[in-house]
Amino acid sequence: MKLRRLTALLSIILLMLAFPQYGFASKNDKTTSEGKDSDNNRAAILDIMDDMTIEEKVGQLFIVHVYGKTPTDPDYEDINLRNNRGGENFKEVIENYHVGGVIYFNWTDNIGTPLDAAQVNNLSNGLQDIAMVQDNPIPLFVSTDQEGGIVQRVTSPGTVFSGNMALGATQSEEYAAQTASILGTELSSLGINMNFAPVLDVNMNPENPVIGVRSFGEDPDLVSRLGIAQITAYQDENVIASAKHFPGHGDTAVDSHTGLPIIDHDLETLHEIDLKPFKAAIDAGIDSIMTAHIVVPALDDSGLPATLSKPILTDLLREEMGYDGLIITDSLGMSGANVYPPDQVPVEAFKAGADILLNPPNVEVAYNGVLEAVQSGEISEARLDESVYRILSAKMEKGLFENPYTSLDAIENIGTDEHLQTADEIAEKSITLVKNEDAILPLQPQSGDILITGPSAAQPNLLSDLLNEKGIMTSSFATGTSPTQEQIDEAVEKAQAADKIIVTTYTANTNENQQQMVERIQAAGKPVIVAAMRNPYDLMVFPEVDAYINTYSYLGVSVHALAKAIVGDINPFGKLPVTIPGLYENGHGLEYIDTPLSANGMKTLVGQLDEAGEITGDDAAHELTLHLTAVNHYEQKELADKVVKHMEGFKLMLEQQKESEAISAKAYSYLETETVRLIEQWSNQ
């Protein structure tokens, strides 16, 4: 044992001398939440590593998926073996390969749809039980992709959010933080301690098939601000956050799941746009960064994807950008990573600078490939120890060695009324009215017969049901995502019999059949409203429609918000977080209010709402008008601080009046959105 300890310590000393930039445990120069200082952490980690075999160290590098609802689920033994999971169940995989973590998916039945919270909580605790009774008890990373929006593994009855681009449309760091705080709380309640979020890609390409609405937008400063807000909130909930996809997957028309994208940005563009949010995340103390399977010739002209590129992961990320946290590959089963034989892909990713090898398609082949590379000297033990140290350090910082478990009672935190109300509020604030010719929106009960059609994925039937409940006469007709000619013909026939048509689209800017359907419906000569239920770029291909509104999401929470906006129950508040090329700039957005953005304008709005019966409290309109009169006085004197302070007080008054039902939800929406805009206007002076 003494000789073994001496060998381990010599390996560590050599590593620090050979790679001083890594400075073992530099992230730990602080007191952890458990009260242990960095010296104690270092000593504890070194003791653990001293007792680990090479096989155990190699295992810590891997996060893998396994099918099953329980650690030893007998129903999935064959599928696990057929899919090269390295064992019949989770228990065998952990015991055979000493893996550092697992990743949950819906399609592996780890997380059901709908969510069975007790099942996932029990699965997580059961997996930690297995890990903690091994010869060297090391807790697991239990991970998933819970970005919000179109990538959410935990769904209803958990809290479902409209997603990152919807957050970008609100421009609100507070909403970004609230989203991550709620997602972090609910993940922790399920025993999930690592989340592969947030997405920090800056979406610059309307044809991007893999990022799109998963991005906060095209402005790197906005992406940085909202990303940092989420990172801080996740980590406050003791969930390891992961910024992805480094060095930036935002400007591509190729999906790295099925191909190998090339980013042709020059160095200046990369640093000013793509890399900027990642640098901000590093400065904010991000726990981990996920690599992208993309080729970036300006950073590495070898043709290798970033995941396998030493110039990108080590020279740029580690050395130039000064990052010493965990580097995690994107899934090694994606086509963009498969430029080497299966046993060499994880080896090359590790040699490039990755610490964690995520989701290899064949666990046994990947594990043995790395193990053989260490045993042959292709990967040095010092390099292996470097990554193992980072992994154990991250687990220790999160307190997993002391307690990797989550109480079953914690699932009461999932899908609470407060969480769901927050999701509703954010979705409502994200709805973006881009075009509204002849004030066709909002629709009124006397608007006539409305046909709602579009791909079933874009929820025309749900929208129709919601509008019918609000007194709008609608019928619906759902098509395939790429409508057939028969479906297009039927939609056109129904449109000819309607007074107005709402078309719900689903990334129509890259779908010729959807484009054809909208164009043929337009030819019927009836007013056409398009509601884009995913990417906001659809208007590019049919710019002459009468109205255009974005939700950034086809999820129920967004469809409910859309219905409210269509009938005017809420005032559209969102601003485009991307440019619609040739039509509308980033930051564009319309609303239903036609009064000036000023205290006097808001007084007029109070009068309109009062006359419409939306203000019912005896003195409510008078109190609001009196407050706005005082604000107008400060506006006249250009006392910006006073305007902001009193408008913040006005916002509190609105909340109190809404709570007491002195004003309606509609009045609150219209006055609150104007209040926020006025505060923004004077805050910037």
Q: Which residues are catalytic?
A: 330
DSSP code string of 323-347: --SEEEPSPTTSGGG-SS-TTTHHH
Query: Which amino acid type is present at position 198?
Result: P
Taking a C-beta distance cutoff of 8 angstroms, is the pair 328, 387 a contact? no
Q: Is 271 helix (H, G, I), strand (E, B) or coil?
A: helix
Alpha-carbon gap, residue 30 to 396, rounded angstroms: 13
Taking a C-beta distance cutoff of 8 angstroms, is the pair 299, 312 a contact? yes
C-alpha dihedral over 163, 165, 168, 170, to 10 degrees?
-60
C-alpha to C-alpha distances, 229 to 9, 177, 225, 387, 520, nearest whole angstrom: 39, 5, 6, 27, 44
Query: Which amino acid type is present at position 279?
Result: K
DSSP state, 542?
-
What Rg value do the Cα atoms of the chain yield, rounded? Answer: 27
Handedness of CA 372, 373, 377, 380 (dihedral sign): negative
Q: Is 72 helix (H, G, I), strand (E, B) or coil?
A: coil
Taking a C-beta distance cutoff of 8 angstroms, is the pair 305, 290 a contact? no
Q: In what order do the strands lie in the sheet with 547-550?
A: 432-436, 547-550, 528-532, 500-505, 450-455, 474-479
Alpha-carbon gap, residue 480 to 119, rounded angstroms: 34
Taking a C-beta distance cutoff of 8 angstroms, is the pair 537, 206 a contact? yes
State the angle between helix axes of 345-352 and 363-376 in degrees (0 to 180), rounded to the nearest 10: 50
Alpha-carbon gap, residue 206 to 251, rounded angstroms: 9
Which residues are registered as beta bridge partners of 358? Answer: 63
